[in-house]
Amino acid sequence: MKNPFLKLALALTLSATSSSVLAHVSFVSPSGLQANKSFKAVFSISHGCEGEPTRSITLTVPEGVIAVKPRPDSRWKISRSNGDYAQSYQRYGKEVKSGVKTLTWEGKLEDDEYDEFTFHAYLTSDFKGGDKVYFPVVQTCANNSQLNWTDTSGKDIHGHGDVNSAPYLPVLENHQQEHSHKAHKH
Segment 66-93 shows an average pLDDT of 97
- Alpha carbons 128 and 130: distance in angstroms, whole number: 6
| Residue 158 falls inside a structural domain | yes
Quick one: pLDDT band at residue 33, thresholds 50, 70, 90?
A: very high
d(CA 78, CA 145): 20
pLDDT tops 80 at residue 183? no
Q: Can you give the pLDDT at residue 169?
A: 97
Neighbours of 149 (CB within 10 A): 24
Other CB atoms within 10 Å distance of the CB of residue 170:
17
Average pLDDT of the chain? 83
Q: 13 lies in a domain?
A: no
55 to 13, 58, 124, 183: CA distances (angstroms):
28, 10, 32, 40
Domain ranges, residue 101: 24-175
Average pLDDT, stretch 147-172? 80
Domain count, the chain: 1
Per the model's pLDDT, the better-predicted residue between 154 and 76 turns out to be 76
Which CATH number is 144's domain given? 2.60.40.2230
Q: What's the rounded Cα separation, in Å, for the pair 121 and 152?
A: 20
b or e along 55-74 (b: 16 or more beta carbons within 10 Å of the residue's beta carbon)? Answer: bbbbbbbbebbbbbbbeeee
Quick check: 179 pLDDT over 80? Answer: no
In this structure, is residue 168 part of a structural domain?
yes
User: Is 93 a residue whose pLDDT tops 70?
Assistant: yes
| Residue 164 included in any domain | yes
Would you say residue 124 lies in a domain?
A: yes
pTM: 0.79
- Is residue 1 included in any domain, yes or no? no
Which amino acid is it at 121?
A
20: alpha, beta or left? (left if phi > 0; alpha if psi -120 to 50): alpha
Let me know: does 78 contact 105? Beta carbons within 8 Å.
yes
Residue 111 in any domain: the answer is yes
Assigned domain for 19 exists: no
| DSSP 8-state assignment for residue 181 | H
CA 142/CA 108 separation, integer angstroms: 8
The CA-to-CA distance between both ends of the chain, in Å, stands at 61
d(C-alpha 82, C-alpha 136), whole Å: 16
